[in-house]
Structure 1
Amino acid sequence: MAIPRLLDHVVIAGPDLEELVRWFAERTGVTASPGGVHPTGTANALVALTVGGERGRQYVELIGPDPDRADAALPTTFGIDALTAPVVRTYAVHPDDIDATVAGARARGYDPGEVSDLSRRTADGSLLQWRLTQGEGRRLDVPFLIDWGSTAHPGLGDIPAVELVAFERVEPDPAALQDVLDALALDDGVAPVVAGTPAGYRLTLQPTEGRVTVL
């Protein structure tokens, strides 16, 4: 497969970040690098994605509660507060023009949500800033949009990498979801919708050494 041009990152969430990193390492042989903390009470760890050994602007984000957060309650981001185990939760795309993509989707009958500013502190204390679509009731079966602006893309940083073999969305009724994706007018092949049950994402990875792993 070719690198999906608009794919930005795949989100895998869990109720405990340390356990999530360990879970990913056991299945892929790759230990994610610490990413940083968010104002939302979450923290993450990152692994770059390659295709054919080529690295682009794509990565896997492992996200869970920040162990040093002030509020003991689990954060609600990506429904983390309701999770009991790691799960491939959703994905982000980086359109050429995030504002035009939002406007176009709304004109075609789907509202991705307002574009908001967000940030996180990296492990070395640096501040990363970006814009993305979010809001109440954000659908996890549909990608959110992200624009890194002048911030260096995390997928190109000094982090470990794993080969992307396939990434797809499984749906009992693919047509209903495809209508929403068509409204976003994204490149085909970012995360194809295939028929099947149960509904969810299927992420297939190949470490540099080891067997193919399906998450």
Structure 2
Amino acid sequence: MLDHLVLATPDLDATSVAVTRDGITLVDGGPHIGVGTRNRLAGLGPGRYLEVVGPDPEQPEPDAPRPFHIDELTDARLVTWAVRVPDLDAALEAARGTGHDPGVARAMSRRRPDGELLAWRLAFPPDDLGGVMPFLIDWGTTAHPSASLPGGATLDELVLEHPEPARVRAVLDAVGADGPVVVRAGETPALTARIDGRVLG
């Protein structure tokens, strides 16, 4: 199912102010140690959330580029989204069965400000079709982040546009990407979210 949206930014503080001004309550998620980023989160209804992620000035410069092309951004942008699966290895095989390369599974973790350690496994596709194709995440025994987030915002829909919508739909069906996800034909890949009537792209 749809797990979360990723809004990447070159300036986490400035983007957080803008998002909060739009009426969305953000809380500090914590740093991704060694990656050079940290995030802030907002609940989008049961089992869903918005992740605002950007450079962490308290960490040294990472050895590799930050994820989500953060180092190349000049403005905040909705760059990708995640689908939560109960069995990552099975979901990877299902995705491969459609001819899509979902990437390789890897383990990650971060510690929340209250000290609780969150751990998960995920896989990023080498080609995410401009952010349209989601990455897959398996939270294992970790409590889902949305359970500890304040409510108040709701994801109305996530619109995915691509020249080959049937190709995208086949992968989403294979991995169980249910939720308010709309796939449309478009000249170029694009993703747009509508949260309580506000457009985020």
Query: TM-score by structure 1 length?
Result: 0.82
- The residue correspondences of 1:179-190 to structure 2 (distance < 5 A) are 179-182=170-173, 184-189=174-179
Change in CA separation of 1:47 and 1:74 when aligned onto 2, cut-off 3 Å:
farther
Identical-residue share of aligned pairs (%): 39
- The residue correspondences of 1:186-197 to structure 2 (distance < 5 A) are 186-189=176-179, 191-196=181-186
The one of 113, 129, 154 equivalent to 2:119 is 129
Residue 95 of structure 2 corresponds to 105
Report the CA distance between 1:134 and its aligned residue.
Answer: 2.9
The one of 146, 150, 153 equivalent to 1:155 is 146
Report the CA distance between 1:191 and its aligned residue.
Answer: 2.4
Alignment partners' CA distance in 1, 2:30 and 2:152: 18
Quote the RMSD (CA, aligned, Å): 2.2
Residue 29 of structure 1 corresponds to 23
CA contact (8 A) 2:38 2:53 kept: yes
Letter in 1 for 2:10: P
Alignment partners' CA distance in 1, 2:186 and 2:98: 27
SS at match of 1:45: strand
Alignment partners' CA distance in 1, 2:139 and 2:91: 15
The one of 48, 58, 69 equivalent to 1:68 is 58
CA contact (8 A) 1:116 1:133 kept: yes
Alignment partners' CA distance in 2, 1:106 and 1:176: 12
**1:8 to 2:8 alignment:** no
Alignment partners' CA distance in 1, 2:37 and 2:65: 7
Alignment partners' CA distance in 1, 2:144 and 2:178: 22
Gaps of 5+ in 1: 1-5, 51-55, 207-211
**1:213 to 2:188 alignment:** no
Gaps of 5+ in 2: none
Q: What CA deviation, in whole Å up to 9, does each residue of 1:3-42 have, x standing for no partner?
A: xxx011111110011111112122x212311100002111
Letter in 1 for 2:37: T
Letter in 2 for 1:193: V
Change in CA separation of 1:197 and 1:111 when aligned onto 2, cut-off 3 Å:
closer
Alignment partners' CA distance in 1, 2:175 and 2:12: 34
